[in-house]
Amino acid sequence: MAFSTNFMCPALILVAATVVTCLNANKSCKYQHPQTLFCLSDFAIKARIISMGKITVTNDIANPIQITSYKIHVKKFFLDRSNSIGFDMWQKNVKLQVEQSLVASKSAITLQPKSTYVIFGSFSQDRKHLILKQCGFYAPWHNITREQRFGLRHAYNDNCHRCNIKLCHNVENNKDKKKLCTANKNECLWKPKVMAFSHCPLNSSVVISTDCHALHSTCAYHSSNQRCTWIYSKSVRKCKMEYDRDLHRSRSPYKYHCK
């Protein structure tokens, strides 16, 4: 399935965003590579948080939702599938709803005023809002690596309809799981380090911010052998060396990501 991309770079657009926090106990995310999250999204934007607005809470006792309003400037669209569903991405005062579990306060989504983020999301059913879910992707722009920026601009979308990333983890001591961890010609195997996400089970962005493949690799189709394979950079080797060094020193190199 192909995904359309709009690489327009308009002047800053003022957007009214809404952040939603909901109670959903024991919900965990399926860990996914940023390329996969990009391909599953309706939009991918670079946006600056301008200010925080009012806070409201719904009356649903069983599932209270806290709504925090923000104003943001959208600086760039890396992915815009609005044309396919009739949503006007360029209208002013677009609402963004971030849905997250209050139980997962240690890995809560927070958007800081005057900061710039990359955000992937979907459109609401009524096509009047943008949505960033608990298990979606968001990250400060300054944390986006060179390889991820290349993916956002070109490589991710170019390979959405050709390649899938297959997750395999906790397979080292499990023979049955090892047998299942094989890739066909349209897949790249991804084996994120267990330590990278063992502390923050409710936020896949934590995995994305610590795993070397998520930070520095893209799964791309190669016409020469008609297969999907990882595109590596020198940064991958350096990242793995640093990870192994920190793991040897502390046994928990990325614990600080789960404040």
Residue type, 14: L
19 lies in some domain: yes
Residue % of the chain over a pLDDT of 90: 24
Instruction: State mean pLDDT over 41-70.
Output: 76
Weakest mean pLDDT among 14-28, 94-108, 158-172, 201-215? 14-28
Please indicate, yes or no, whether residues 41 and 114 belong to a single structural domain of this protein.
yes
Q: Which two tokens stand for residue 121?
A: 């999301």
110 lies in some domain: yes
Between 170 and 121, name the one with better pLDDT.
Answer: 121
Weakest mean pLDDT among 35-44, 117-126, 174-183, 237-246? 174-183
Predicted pLDDT of residue 193: 65
If DSSP codes are grouped into helix, strand and coil, which group holds residue 184? Answer: coil
Number of domains in the chain: 2
Q: Is 44 exposed, middle or buried (0-12, 13-18, 19+ CB in 10 A)?
A: buried
1 lies in some domain: no
Predicted pLDDT of residue 20: 44
**Residue that finishes a domain, picked among 143, 165, 193:** 143
Please indicate, yes or no, whether residues 167 and 116 belong to a single structural domain of this protein.
no
Instruction: State mean pLDDT over 170-182.
Output: 64
Please indicate, yes or no, whether residues 40 and 112 belong to a single structural domain of this protein.
yes
Between 40 and 63, name the one with better pLDDT.
Answer: 40
3 lies in some domain: no
Q: Which two tokens stand for residue 78?
A: 């890396």
Between 13 and 184, name the one with better pLDDT.
Answer: 184
237 lies in some domain: yes
The whole-angstrom separation of Cα 43 and Cα 208 is 18
**Residue that finishes a domain, picked among 123, 143, 163:** 143
Please indicate, yes or no, whether residues 129 and 234 belong to a single structural domain of this protein.
no
Q: Which two tokens stand for residue 176?
A: 């049955």
Q: Which two tokens stand for residue 63?
A: 């599932």
Please indicate, yes or no, whether residues 138 and 22 belong to a single structural domain of this protein.
yes
Pairing of strands 227-231, 218-222: antiparallel
Radius of gyration for the chain, computed over Cα atoms and rounded to the nearest angstrom: 19
- Asked if 169 contacts 177 with a C-beta cutoff of 8 angstroms, the reply is no
pLDDT tens digits, 33-46: 999 999 999 999 89
pLDDT tens digits, 95-115: 787 777 665 444 567 789 899
- Alpha helix (H) residue ranges in the chain: 34-40, 146-150, 156-158, 175-180, 194-197, 204-208, 212-216, 234-250
Please indicate, yes or no, whether residues 137 and 22 belong to a single structural domain of this protein.
yes
Distances in Å between the Cα of 208 and the Cα atoms of 12, 48, 77, 181 are 27, 21, 20, 20
132 lies in some domain: yes
Query: What CATH number does residue 77 fall under?
Result: 2.40.50.120
Predicted pLDDT of residue 115: 93
Please indicate, yes or no, whether residues 250 and 169 belong to a single structural domain of this protein.
yes
77 lies in some domain: yes
Residue 208 CA, chain-centre distance (Å), reads 7
161 lies in some domain: yes
Residue 55 CA, chain-centre distance (Å), reads 25
Q: Which two tokens stand for residue 118?
A: 């990359």
Which residue range is the domain that position 157 belongs to? 146-257
Distances in Å between the Cα of 135 and the Cα atoms of 28, 79, 109, 185 are 8, 18, 10, 28
Between 16 and 212, name the one with better pLDDT.
Answer: 212
Please indicate, yes or no, whether residues 129 and 19 belong to a single structural domain of this protein.
yes
Please indicate, yes or no, whether residues 46 and 121 belong to a single structural domain of this protein.
yes
Backbone angles phi, psi at 105, to 5 degrees: -65, -30
Q: Which two tokens stand for residue 81?
A: 């599938």
The whole-angstrom separation of Cα 149 and Cα 218 is 11
User: Is 55 a residue whose pLDDT tops 90?
Assistant: no
pLDDT tens digits, 115-129: 999 999 888 777 777
Please indicate, yes or no, whether residues 191 and 226 belong to a single structural domain of this protein.
yes
Please indicate, yes or no, whether residues 48 and 125 belong to a single structural domain of this protein.
yes
Average pLDDT, the chain: 73
Instruction: State mean pLDDT over 200-218.
Output: 66
